[in-house]
Chain A
Amino acid sequence: MEKVLMKGNEIIGEAAIRSGCKVFFGYPITPSTEVVEYLSAHMPKHGGTVLQAEDEIGAINMCYGAACTGTRVMTASSSPGVSLKQEGISYSAAVGLPMVIVNVNRCGPGLGGLGPAQSDYFQSTRGGGHGDYRTIVLAPSKAQELYDYTMMAFDLADKYRNPVLLLTDGFLGQTMEPVVLKERPEAPAVDRDWVVDGARGREKRVLASYSLTNEIGEANNLVWEAKYKDIQEKEQHWEEFYTEDAEYLLVSYGITGRICKSTVLNARKKGIKLGLIRPITLWPYPEKAFLPFKDKVKGIVTVELNTGQMIEDVKLSVECKVPVHLYRRQGGMLPTEHEILDYVENTFGIAAREV
């Protein structure tokens, strides 16, 4: 297997090509631009098409069209651009269209800045657009995961006929790290008997979401609800790091999840039994990860790049049985491993035992 040095955003592009993504529609925006730049250079060589749309709304609706034909399709943007795409994502969720949407986060609100942030957590995990739908959300924390989770995103999108969001940031996007370009695992066989590819010889299919009566509307909602419950049951993914004997837990995803691993190692050197739960899926939220700990640990700190968004899911997951605190940086700033540990020690009044 080939090991190469690549920028995070380019890795997403390479993984998309190797996942059999055939069309990409987008509108460039920093800090996600290298995704479309890389795909423009490489996707046509693999028989794919990259098209720069007139804007983000155009791009997402082109994704809708391509997905209707059963073609693997992706778009990439950054926070304000992803906001513009929300109507199209809602429509795609309503008719069950598989597609991958990459959000290389900016820090917001408004036009915001280019630094790393997690301020789109609510938007990503609560549907984002209008109507009661969910998108599967994956949160990579390093180069190899940018590659692996992009592939996983395409497979999950097909498996559940649902849009999947890949949530990353400009710091991961610009960092070059070695990545193993694994050959694509066999794509799971997927049901394509819903696509609109010409109705000659078969019954007409319609991919549209208007409910003519309230009864039809409720029936549709029940179908989607059942799908979301199924996803919640089967697709909670997370990583645990030194949790087995942990007295205190950090919970963090993406780039801060990775920083927290260094914090945990530093804490262990000082004799503090700190562990980490790193959610890989942000929706469905990995509440199962917390089951063994909610009657056991003395306290939890979520580390986020926002005013405290994921902390709500953590409190729900532990049914508020454990004190949950927030350590956050905002506006494009990143915490260092040391300041997180200082916060943990101060919050829980832990006197370090040197070991």
Chain B
Amino acid sequence: MMDKVIIAGFGGQGVMFLGKVMAYAGMGSDLELCWIPSYGPEMRGGTANCSVILSDEEIYSHVIDYADCAIVLNKPAYEKFSPRVKPGGVLVVNSSLAKLESKRDDITVIEIPATDMANELGNPSIANMICLGALIPHLKLIDFNKVEKAMTKLTAKRPQLMDVNLTAINKGLEFKNQ
């Protein structure tokens, strides 16, 4: 079993951190995994993307042509990565920053106003975690408990961040797709 996930957005939206949360959740369950940031000049340009592969067997190729799932945090990320989701896959779209006129009908598209929801929670920078929450039910190899454990580890130095992040993830989990 394998979860191949692409995460994309603006620099500063917590794309890499979202990937790390998933990676550490996999690490906590002794899964094989890869966390792959986009690197090179584009890192300095404003768009950020990273991929995470979780697997219960050895990962050979870690070049993702088509992903099982993707989280896109803005419109440019949607344009770029929506075609890269496998038929039958899941695409989580931050609809606060990406209004869709049309969408693919061969994948599940979850439009979640994550930035608006994050603002309601009083912290615009946790839209990434709200999107993660919306994706969790569609992941084969990690669940909320594993993510919670990973978050504990990642926020060990600043425990006040743990509750903020977990609340956001729960908001995403509770979200009912239209």
A-side residues, CB < 8 A to B, are 5, 30-31, 113-115, 170-171, 174-178, 258-259, 261-263, 265, 332, 334-338
Contact = CB atoms under 8 A, between A and B. Distances in A.
B36 interface: yes
Interface string B36-77: 110111000000000000000001111101000000000000
Given A258-B61, A336-B61, A178 B37 contact: no
Contact of B34 (A31, A175, A259, A336): A175
Contacts of B35: 5, 175-177
Query: Which of B34, B37, B40, B60 has the most CB atoms of chain A within a 10 A radius of its CB?
Result: B60
Contacts of B34: 175-177
Contacts of A113: 40
B23 A262 contact: no
A259 B36 contact: no
Contact of B33 (A170, A177, A334): A177
Contacts of B63: 259, 334-337
Given A5-B27, A175-B36, A114 B62 contact: no
Query: Which of B35, B39, B59, B61 has the most CB atoms of chain A within a 10 A radius of its CB?
Result: B61
A262 B39 contact: no
Interface string B10-46: 0000000000000110010000111111011100000
A68 B23 CA distance: 43
A113 B39 CA distance: 11
A177 B41 CA distance: 23
B60 A262 contact: yes
Interface of B is mostly: mixed
A261 B59 CA distance: 9
A263 B60 CA distance: 9
B60 to A, nearest CB: 4
Contact of A174 (B27, B39, B41): B39
A113 B36 CA distance: 18
A31 B27 contact: no
Contacts of A335: 63
A262 B62 CA distance: 9
B142 to A, nearest CB: 14
A265 B33 CA distance: 19
Contacts, number: 57
Given A174-B37, A177-B32, A178-B27, 14 more contacts: A5-B23, A5-B24, A31-B39, A114-B39, A171-B36, A174-B36, A175-B34, A176-B34, A176-B35, A176-B36, A258-B61, A265-B60, A334-B63, A337-B61
A178 B61 contact: no
B33 A259 contact: no
20 contacts: A5-B27, A30-B40, A31-B39, A171-B36, A174-B37, A175-B35, A175-B36, A176-B23, A176-B35, A177-B33, A177-B35, A178-B32, A259-B60, A262-B61, A265-B60, A332-B40, A334-B63, A336-B61, A336-B65, A338-B65
Contact of B62 (A115, A170, A175, A178): A175
Contacts of A263: 61
A262 B34 CA distance: 15
B105 to A, nearest CB: 24
A114 B41 contact: yes
A263 B63 CA distance: 12
Contact of B61 (A176, A177, A261, A332): A261
Contacts of B61: 258-259, 261-263, 336-337
A174 B39 CA distance: 8
Contacts of A175: 34-36, 62
In the complex, the 9 A-B pairs of residues with the closest C-beta atoms, listed nearest first = A262-B61, A261-B60, A176-B35, A259-B61, A114-B40, A262-B60, A336-B65, A337-B61, A174-B39
A332 B63 CA distance: 13
B27 A258 contact: no
A178 B62 CA distance: 14
A115 B36 contact: no
Given A336-B65, A337-B61, A337-B63, A178 B39 contact: no
B122 to A, nearest CB: 31
Contacts of A338: 65
Contacts of B39: 31, 114, 170, 174
A337 to B, nearest CB: 5
Contacts of B40: 30-31, 113-115, 170, 332
